[in-house]
C-alpha cells in the first residue's frame, strides 16, 4: 500500500498486458512454460516427431506458411475479438489503411477502397488442443499504380496470429472476452506492418513487441533439427557466426547432415550413462545441446584455429527451415511445421 494510503486499481487489460509482457521478457520465446509471469529456463524438451500435417491443414493454407521468412512478434490477449466477425474486421482494416495512406482523409467503411483490399481468414488444423484458438490469417492486396483494370490485385502484405499448444492453465484463466493469439508473424513492407499493428491495438486493446531469437534458441534449433535427421533428411546443418575483430569477420560453418547426426548421437549416448526411463528417451536436455555445440566448435578449431565461442551465432539453417538472430524464421518443410514453432525456446514463453 502506498504511504499516501491511496490505492490505484489497474484495469484488467493492463494487468493481462503486464502479465504477458513479463512472461515474454525481451528475448525470444516460442516455447511453453507453466509460469504465468515468471521467466523460466527450460532445460529439457521433447524431441519433435515428423507428422503429415496435410491431413489437418488445407494445402492452399499450408502453402502460405511454408517457404516464407516471417518476422516474429508477441501479442497480448485481444479484447472482444471474435472469429465470427472476420469480414467486418477486413472492411474496417481496409478503410483504416486507406485513410492512413490518404493522410487522414475520411474514408467510409464499406466504400470503395481500390488501393488496398484486406481479407481475414481462419487457418484450421494448426490448433493442437481444445483450448487453442484457431489461427487467423490477414492478407493485404493491392494493384500496382499503372495496372490495367482487369489485372488481379497482388498480395503485398501477409500476417497471422496463432496459438499452438498454449499453456492450458493460462488460457483457461483468461476472462471470456479475451482471446489469446500471442504469436504474430508478418512479411511485407514495414509501413503496412505498423498500420496493421496499430489497428489491432486500437480495436482490441492489445500490445505488440519484438520476439527476438537469441543464441540459446539457435543452439536448440541446431540440435533439434539434427535430431530430426533420423526421420527427415535435413541435407546439411549451416551456421553463421560473427567474430569480434576489425573489420567484423563472418564465418559460415556447414556440416554434412550425417556427420552432424553422428556427433549428436555420440553426445546423447555419453549422457545416457545415467538411467533413463521410457519418457526420458524422447527428451533432450540442454546440457546435451551445449555439448553438441562444443563438439562442433572444437572440430572447427582443430582445422582452422578459429575459436567460434568468442563470436556470436547469428543464423542456423537446414532443409527444414532457418532462423536468424533478428527474429526472422522460415519453415521449409511441412513435416515439422508445428514442432518447429515449439522449438524456439526456452527462456521466455509464448503461451
Query: Model confidence over 47-89: pLDDT tens digits?
Result: 766 666 777 888 888 888 999 999 999 999 999 999 999 999 9
Higher pLDDT, 164 or 135: 135
Q: 74 with 19: CB under 8 angstroms?
A: no
Among 110-114, 229-233, 268-272, name the one with the lowest average pLDDT. Answer: 110-114
Q: Give the start-to-end residue ranges of the domains of the chain.
A: 52-102+113-210, 215-271+282-325
What angle (nearest 5°) sits at the alpha carbon of residue 110, between those of residues 104 and 111?
A: 65
Mean pLDDT of 3-29: 41
Q: Is the pLDDT of residue 338 over 90?
A: no
Mean pLDDT of 174-194: 95
pTM to 2 decimals?
0.78
Q: Is the pLDDT of residue 241 over 90?
A: yes
Mean pLDDT of 166-180: 93
Residue 277: predicted pLDDT: 52
Q: 79 with 61: CB under 8 angstroms?
A: no
Q: 187 with 72: CB under 8 angstroms?
A: no
pLDDT in tens, 123-146: 988 888 889 999 999 999 988 777
Higher pLDDT, 246 or 336: 246
DSSP annotation of 18 reads: H
Q: Is the pLDDT of residue 33 over 90?
A: no
Residue 51: predicted pLDDT: 64
Q: 195 with 97: CB under 8 angstroms?
A: yes
Q: Is the pLDDT of residue 36 over 50?
A: no
Residue 44: predicted pLDDT: 76
What is the DSSP pairing of strand 208-210 with strand 135-142? unpaired
What is the DSSP pairing of strand 283-285 with strand 208-210? unpaired
Mean pLDDT of 265-293: 77
User: Cα–Cα distance between 186 and 257 in angstroms, integer?
Assistant: 30
Res. 334 pLDDT band, cuts 50 70 90: confident
Mean pLDDT of the chain: 81
H or E element, residue 35: none
Residue 144: predicted pLDDT: 74
Res. 350 pLDDT band, cuts 50 70 90: very low
Residue 292: predicted pLDDT: 97
Residue 5: predicted pLDDT: 41
Higher pLDDT, 143 or 247: 247
Cell numbers placing 105: 482523409
User: How far are the Cα atoms of 11, 88, 133, 315 from residue 81, in angstroms, in the given order?
Assistant: 18, 11, 11, 35
Mean pLDDT of 294-317: 96
Amino acid at each position: 500500500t502506498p504511504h499516501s494510503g491511496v490505492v490505484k486499481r489497474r484495469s484488467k487489460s493492463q494487468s493481462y498486458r503486464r502479465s504477458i509482457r513479463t512472461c515474454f521478457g525481451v528475448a525470444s520465446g516460442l516455447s511453453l512454460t507453466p509460469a504465468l509471469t515468471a521467466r523460466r529456463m527450460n532445460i529439457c524438451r521433447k524431441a519433435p516427431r515428423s507428422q503429415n500435417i496435410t491431413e489437418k491443414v488445407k494445402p492452399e493454407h499450408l502453402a502460405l506458411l511454408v517457404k516464407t521468412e516471417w518476422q516474429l512478434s508477441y501479442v497480448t490477449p485481444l479484447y472482444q475479438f471474435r472469429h465470427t466477425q472476420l469480414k467486418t474486421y477486413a472492411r474496417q482494416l481496409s478503410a483504416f489503411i486507406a485513410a492512413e495512406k490518404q493522410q487522414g482523409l475520411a474514408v467510409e467503411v464499406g466504400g470503395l477502397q481500390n488501393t488496398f483490399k484486406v481479407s481475414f481468414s481462419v487457418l484450421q488444423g494448426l490448433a493442437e488442443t481444445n483450448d487453442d484458438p484457431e489461427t487467423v490469417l490477414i492478407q493485404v492486396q493491392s494493384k500496382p499504380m499503372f495496372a490495367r483494370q482487369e489485372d488481379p490485385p497482388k498480395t503485398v502484405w501477409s500476417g497471422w496470429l496463432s496459438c499452438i499448444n498454449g499453456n492450458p492453465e493460462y488460457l483457461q484463466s483468461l476472462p471470456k472476452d479475451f482471446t489469446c493469439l500471442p504469436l504474430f508473424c508478418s512479411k511485407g513492407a514495414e509501413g503496412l506492418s505498423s498500420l496493421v499493428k496499430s489497428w489491432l491495438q486500437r480495436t482490441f486493446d492489445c500490445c505488440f513487441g519484438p520476439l527476438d531469437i537469441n543464441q540459446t534458441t539457435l543452439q536448440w534449433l541446431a540440435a533439434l533439427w539434427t535430431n530430426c535427421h533420423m526421420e527427415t533428411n535435413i541435407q546439411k546443418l549451416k551456421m553463421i557466426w560473427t567474430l569480434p575483430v576489425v573489420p567484423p569477420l563472418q564465418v559460415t560453418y556447414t556440416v554434412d547432415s550425417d556427420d552432424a547426426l553422428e556427433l549428436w548421437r555420440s553426445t546423447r549416448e555419453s549422457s545416457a550413462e545415467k538411467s533413463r526411463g521410457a519418457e526420458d528417451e524422447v527428451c533432450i536436455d540442454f546440457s546435451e545441446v551445449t555439448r553438441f555445440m562444443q563438439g562442433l566448435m572444437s572440430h572447427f578449431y582443430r582445422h582452422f584455429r578459429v575459436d567460434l565461442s568468442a563470436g556470436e551465432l547469428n543464423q542456423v539453417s537446414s532443409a527444414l527451415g532457418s532462423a536468424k538472430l533478428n527474429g526472422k524464421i522460415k519453415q521449409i518443410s511441412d513435416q515439422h511445421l508445428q514442432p518447429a514453432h515449439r522449438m524456439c525456446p526456452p527462456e521466455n514463453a509464448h503461451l
